[in-house]
Structures are given as structure tokens and as C-alpha cells.
Amino acid sequence: MNDALSSLRFDGDLPPSKVDIDRAVRTGRRRERRRRTLLASAGIAGCALLVSGMLVAQDRQPPADTAVKNGCRVQRLPTPGNAPGTVTATSGRYAVGVLDNPTGDPLLFWDDGRLRPVTGTPRPDPTPVAVDDSGTVVGNSGDKDPWLLRDGGFTHLATPAGATRTIATAINAKGSVIGTATWLDAGGRATQTRTVRWSVADPGRFQYVATDPALAYVSGINGDDVMVGRASAGGTDYNAFAWTPDGTPVRLNRIDGKPAESAFQVAGDWAIGSYDDGSTWFSHGVRWNLRTGEHIEFDTFVPSAVDASGTMVGTVMNSADDTAPARWKDGAVLMLPVLSAGQSATMTSMSSDGRVAVGWLFREKNDPIVPVRWLCS
């Protein structure tokens, strides 16, 4: 893996960056603030602690198929009373999200489209960020409390003593969980970050992974423990990076050698990220092959997730009020169905085999936000 990744190394200083790690391309409403939480880095000291929580036994009926297009069908994911909600991650069978304005427990857990309500979710502002094939969920509550939901119970992940913030961001099939611990000065500026890795089997312990440059924020991990994210030698200049399991850095640039500001997800040999050159109102997408060094850039298609074959889902940025769901496969952008004409989409996640993708649909002037999944052949 080290030899393959070395093909993507670039030299030179880090140029200025214009975008945040979440490649903020949406409208800045509450649903996007939740999206940013997925890719932020933060947390404080803590210890492993079992928290009361359970998956309620009854099943809700799965939703009926509503539309089919380009080999994919869309389904509305049920919520209590059809309340507005988001879906943030999927493994294929399982998906997780949150109610938009909850009066009770906010966490949503779906098993093959069937809602299984959860109780005892840690507060405040719980946000699930990933779920694996066994149904283990990784999430954060605020910026101080990373946790696991496993076998019906919540367990807090151990966090570094003295860190101002610690947040978990991803999990892989081996049970490795990654995140970032951050130390802030009195002015709220990051003075140090450390990449943190946990094991699902032993959440009460963590280990540091030495990820240079100095300020590194990891957001994705593949099955070989290769990580992606963004990093800076200091200040506000960020570049996309991949790191081998031992923390060796690999700088990820654009085709012309200029920087991509962030990499946010990796599956197999494929990683995706973004850059902003000021030419459009949104950030452009990039896909890298970490084995061959191949990388391509996109115009109006902005990827949100990639599978192990390099297929992606994302949105076509027609306008600030029209972000259409789409799937990129073998060089073609295929539009995905929506529940009703005129809906925009935020795509968030897809399964490693590319057969299931999740996100939510909305209208700028007519909520509710509707969590959905796409099932593709």
C-alpha cells in the first residue's frame, strides 16, 4: 500500500485554501449544519462508560417504492409520525440519522428500511457519522463525546486527557474507528491536533496515529486502515491528504498540481475530495485512485460518497436552489429519482458495493426534509 500511495506524492508549499473540510456547497440551513458536524474535528477528555440505551424491539413497515430511474429506485425512510429527519450514513442494510426537530429521542436507526427507534442517546445534539455491516453506529454528541451504539447499548469512546475537543468520524469493516483530538488556545484557534484510533472491541482505549503535517483532520478510513482528510503546516492553508496505516502522509493534489483542500471519504483504492478555485458558487469534486495515481475532476457533479469500485453518488449543482441527486458510474452521470418533481437533494453515504445510497430531499421554500434511500442494481 505504501508503494501505491507514493505515486500520489507532490512537492511544494501548501497554497491558500478557500473552503472548509465539508466543502460547503449547500444553503447554510440547519440540515447543512448537521452535515458539517460529520466532518468536523473536536472533543474533550473522557472515559469509556456504558450508557443506558436500547433498540426498541418493534419493527415499522418498510416504505413502498415510489420511483425508478436509471436502474435505481427511491424510498422514503419512515420516521415517527413522518416527522422531518436526515439520514447521515449507511452500510447497505443499516442506515442512521436524526430527527430534525425532536421532542423525544432524536436518533433514527433503520434495518433494511424498517425503523427501529432508539432510546438513551447521549446528549446534547447527537449526530451519527457512520454505521458498519454489523449495525455498530459511531457518533458524537456535541463536540465532546464520541460514542458507539452496539448491541442495543451506548458506550462512550475514551478521549485524550487535556484535549479541548475529540470527535469520531468513521469506522471500517475491521472495527477501526478514527477521529481527531484538538487543542485550542484562548482565542479558539487550533494549536495542536492528534489523530485518534479506537477499536470497537476495546472502546475504553485509544492510540495516537502520527499524521503529519502539524494540523491534521481525518474524516475517512478504508478496510486497510488507509485514512484521508485534510492537513496544514499551520495557519489556514489546507491540502487534501491520505495517510498509510502507520501515518505516512501522501499529499493529494489536482490534475494541474494545484491543491485540493480536503479529502473526505475513501473506499478500497478510491478517495474523493474537493477544491474551490473561485470560478463557481460551489466546491468542485475530485476522485483519486490511491493505487494507480489516477485522478479526475468534475464540473457540476459534486460527489458525496464513493464505493470500492469507484462509483460515486452526489449532486448535480444546477443552481443554489436546485441540487439534483445523481450517480457517477463508468464516466457517466446518471440522474437519480426523487419523490416528487422539483425536489433537491443532499446525498450523504453509500454502501461499499454501491447498491444502496442515502440522503434527504427538500424544497427550499417548502419543508419537511425527507430522509430517503436509493436502491440500485
Q: What is the pLDDT of residue 8?
A: 42
Q: What is the pLDDT of residue 54?
A: 39
Q: What is the pLDDT of residue 152?
A: 86
Over residues 29-88, the pLDDT tens digits come to 333 333 333 333 222 222 233 333 434 334 445 555 578 999 999 999 999 999 999 999
Give the count of domains, the chain: 1
Q: What is the pLDDT of residue 61?
A: 54
Over residues 82-140, the pLDDT tens digits come to 999 999 999 999 999 999 888 788 999 999 999 998 999 999 989 999 999 999 999 99
Mean of pLDDT values over 281-308: 96
Residue 227 and residue 217 in contact, taking contact as beta carbons nearer than 8 Å = no
Provide, rounded to the nearest whole percent, the portion of the chain with pLDDT above 70: 82
| 158 vs 203: CA distance, rounded Å | 6
- The DSSP code for 21 is T
Q: What is the pLDDT of residue 117?
A: 80
Q: What is the pTM of this model?
A: 0.83
Range(s) of the domain holding residue 258: 2-376
CATH number, position 178: 2.130.10.10
Lowest-pLDDT range of 27-41, 175-189, 296-310 = 27-41
How many C-beta atoms surround the C-beta of residue 207 within 10 A?
9
Residue 43 and residue 167 in contact, taking contact as beta carbons nearer than 8 Å = yes
